[in-house]
Structure 1
């Protein structure tokens, strides 16, 4: 089945990183089409108002709009040529530029949702050349507000065949596995590592248990957590097998629990030499991969791509 991804771009190195990552997946993701999507700058409200009453202002406005569109077309043609030079067939790359309507992030989501894309690819620092704060807010806004489409945040190096999936046994984690299976199914070269942080009593309750005998409670938590994650892994392996990914390509890494789940995930990712980290945006309640952990990953992630699946 063909996959289509929306690569959000502007004239910045962060967008070029996103584009290179998408192009690098050409040999990994079968039948992937790319739309290079650019949101053109906003026209001054003053000019819009003046153009309604003054022919000279209207002429100036039309000129600005033509120049903006021509600059966008030149940039998109350059990006398309780059993707083709990186091995992506020309027919698999389509440029698209539209005037800004609501805001950069919202316009990207509106377009991606309306045309039912399989993923939105964006540089982790955003798609604007303005301030650091604004650049970060664009990508964060897309992640926070994408209700249906997975968002791939790219920072740094291109993809490798080593993929890490951070899981907690939740439905959100299973959707992340489903997205991974759909995008990478049928590829015999990739390796997938499921990374799980086993829960502890402290993950479920903020009470200080240091002075009390909690061995029985800890045993209950560990036993229940193991049963949950074992069932999860069985479902996840079946999804991958149905997608054409063999069990020999998959390994499981389970670590002891702790409060710094996000930090544990990033340390394992960096030490393991992975190129892609996949995570569900929400977890199973107030523990494991909650919004705070996925936000931590969005803010701290580097050197690869973070797939955030809603």
Structure 2
């Protein structure tokens, strides 16, 4: 089955890290295609007056310069992918101009074109920097719930995945997304793990909540509510061509906060990517939920947020 990924590029080292991440994982996947997007702000600033006196000018010099840079970034990114095994026909480039801001431009482009996932590199400014200055990646974490969001921090070299599981529908949706992306991938290694929160926990979903997606018959056979759906998550992976030998079930453990525990387990088992199913948009308070805090504290790691 074909998979189509949107990658935001800006010519930075963080953008290059994102491309290298794709290369390590998917260059041999014939069903994998990549759309490269360079979002360009068309806010004219103090040169907007030039279009009033020059009727032939439709964009300011600043905007034209931004688009020229974006075109170079896209060309370099495409060449990088092609040099490392991606066929040219599997790569498409877009320089997308918008006056709504870079984050909104990327988000709306991804949403309108219904991509299987959106990938962005993180600048690694840390929690304080993000709170004071904001960043494209942190803003996308807040906005992008309709499309799985992949956040790449630093140089991610491991091809192992840590799948965070819980007794809820969005957790199985994360497994479903992971299974689809890694479908028939002979190198995929997935560690299934449930982190026990020391201070409270989300109550498990009712069995009927899973029926609309997976059906009552499948749920009756595979839905192991009493063991945090370890069996159900594994079953979804196996049904999509991932061999049982490449699936490892780690025993649940208790930590101060699940986000720190997930990061610790990922490092312990040399997993380069953590996959998390997150709840629909809700107010999670100042500190955020598990997915938010895991993303903020990840270093040299990729976080996939599904839901």
TM-score of the alignment, normalized to the shorter chain, above 0.5:
yes
Q: Is the 8 A contact 1:126 1:139 kept in 2?
A: no
Structure with max Cα Rg? 1
2:7 aligned partner = 7
2:249 aligned partner = 252
Q: Is the 8 A contact 2:162 2:193 kept in 1?
A: yes
1:124-163 to 2 correspondences below 5 Å: 124-125=122-123, 137-163=135-161
1:102 aligned partner = 100
Q: Distance in 2 between matches of 1:76 and 1:126?
A: 22
Q: Is the 8 A contact 2:2 2:31 kept in 1?
A: yes
2:24 aligned partner = 24
The alpha carbon displacement at 1:59 in A equals 4.4
Q: Residues 269, 166 of structure 1: CA spacing in aligned structure 2 closer, same or farther, 3 A cutoff?
A: same
Q: Distance in 2 between matches of 1:286 and 1:68?
A: 36
The alpha carbon displacement at 1:10 in A equals 0.5
The alpha carbon displacement at 1:30 in A equals 4.7
Q: Deviations over 1:242-280 (max 9, x none)?
A: 101122211111233243211111111111111211111
Q: Distance in 2 between matches of 1:154 and 1:63?
A: 33
The alpha carbon displacement at 1:79 in A equals 1.1
Q: Distance in 1 between matches of 2:164 and 2:283?
A: 17
Q: Is the 8 A contact 2:9 2:73 kept in 1?
A: no
Q: Distance in 1 between matches of 2:188 and 2:131?
A: 36
2:297 aligned partner = 300
Q: Deviations over 1:174-224 (max 9, x none)?
A: 111000000001123211110112466x4259xxxxxxxxxxxxxxxxxxx
Q: Which runs of 5+ in 1 are unaligned?
A: 206-226
Q: Distance in 2 between matches of 1:158 and 1:10?
A: 19
Q: Distance in 2 between matches of 1:119 and 1:31?
A: 14
- Aligned alpha-carbon RMSD (Å): 3.0
The alpha carbon displacement at 1:100 in A equals 2.5
The alpha carbon displacement at 1:286 in A equals 11
In the alignment, structure 1 residue 240 sits paired with structure 2 residue 237: yes
Q: Deviations over 1:68-103 (max 9, x none)?
A: 322211221111111111211111111110112211
Q: Distance in 2 between matches of 1:135 and 1:88?
A: 36
- Give the TM-score of the pair, scaled to structure 1: 0.81
Q: Which runs of 5+ in 2 are unaligned?
A: 203-223
The alpha carbon displacement at 1:158 in A equals 3.6
Say which of 63, 67, 90 aligns to 1:69: 67
